[in-house]
Amino acid sequence: MEKQGIQFPSRERSKSRLWLAVTLGIAAALANIVFLLRVNGSKVEVLRAARTLRAGETVDGADFDSLTIHVPAADRDQLKALFVEKDAIKSYEGVSIVRRIEQGEPLFQSFFRFDGDPGIRDSIGPGERAIALPIEDESAAVAYFVRPGDVVDVYGTKMDKPSGPIVAGAVVRSVGDATIVPDAAGRDQAYRTVTVVVRESSLPEILHLLDLSQGRVRLALAGVEKP
């Protein structure tokens, strides 16, 4: 009578069984996580940028797609206060964003909100930029009679061959940190800067000319046009 030896599984079969066990274990763990999220947490559909958006652009629903976030129930209200939810996009259509948003980046409510004193930013239109010009003394700013709302031409005083104003017909938005015309008659007190609004497309050339003039400028004040 022949004796049969003990049969051991091959090494390849053992490896296959081991990998199967590991895979099943991972799948079970993931299923458990999903289950816990469904029981103890919730889903929130928020928006993310479908394309790169530049600061100052107005947005609409086509600029975004949805992103589902799983959050613990205790954090749901806090998260909803941070992100823009999918159903809320109508409230933001036509509103300008305040910073660049990269494609795929979640949309935060703060991207539409300014905190603190608005200063002059609400008076800067699409395609415009505000730039501050240094004022050395009263002769550079028409004896400090230049005020917010005035129109000025900006000339460089240190340029070798000036061919005209650096900026023509620029609107003054602030003198120093003052953004409104004072009630009292007469000139304002001394200030060190005048902020004007220019076209964004002209900004590189303006900065180049200011550099050639070593940042030294003189303002020419325009009068009120009469009918």
Digit-coded pLDDT (tens) for 166-210:
999 999 988 887 766 655 444 557 888 999 999 989 999 999 998
132 and 215 share one domain:
yes
Q: Final residue of a domain: which of 89, 112, 135? A: 112
- Least Cα distance to 69 among 107, 29, 31, 111 occurs for 107
Instruction: Report helix, strand or coil for 153.
Output: strand
- The residue behind tokens 């749901």 is 76
DSSP string, 84-128: PBGGGGGGTTTPBPSS-B-TTPBPBGGGG---S--TTGGGPPTTE
Q: Nearest CA to 96 among 131, 130, 128? A: 128
Average pLDDT, the chain: 77
Indicate the pLDDT class of residue 220, thresholds 50, 70 and 90: very high
User: What is the three-class DSSP state of 78?
Assistant: helix
Give the domain CATH number at 106: 3.90.1210.10
Q: What is the mean pLDDT of residues 140-148?
A: 88
In a domain, 104, yes or no: yes
The reported pLDDT for the residue numbered 186 is: 47
**Does 142 lie in the same domain as 208?**
yes
Assigned domain for 25 exists = no
Both tokens assigned to 207 = 């900065």
Note whether residue 210 is domain-resident: yes
Domain final position from 112, 135, 164: 112
134 and 108 in a common domain? no
Same domain as 129, residue 107:
no
The two three-digit tokens of residue 64, written as one number: 């975004």
Judge if 139 and 207 occupy the same domain.
yes
pLDDT band at residue 221 under the 50/70/90 scheme: very high
Lowest mean pLDDT among 21-30, 39-48, 212-221: 21-30
Residue range(s) defining the domain that contains residue 181: 122-221
What is the rounded average pLDDT of the residues 68-82? Answer: 73
Shared domain for 127 and 168, answered yes or no, is yes
Whether 200 and 139 map to the same domain: the answer is yes
Domain boundary (63, 84, 112) is at 112
Residue 153 lies in a domain: yes
Looking at the structure, tell me whether residues 213 and 131 fall in a common domain.
Answer: yes
This prediction's pTM = 0.50
What is the residue type of 117? D
Stretch 7-20: mean pLDDT: 60
Note the pLDDT tens digit of each residue in 35-54.
Answer: 555 545 677 788 888 999 88
Q: Which two tokens stand for residue 169?
A: 């017909």
Q: Where are the alpha helices (DSSP H) in the chain?
A: 11-40, 76-80, 203-212
Question: Are 169 and 104 found together in one domain?
Answer: no
Could you tell me the two tokens for 139?
Answer: 């002769």
How many domains is the chain partitioned into structurally?
Answer: 2
Both 107 and 161 in one domain: the answer is no
Whether 87 and 128 share a structural domain: no
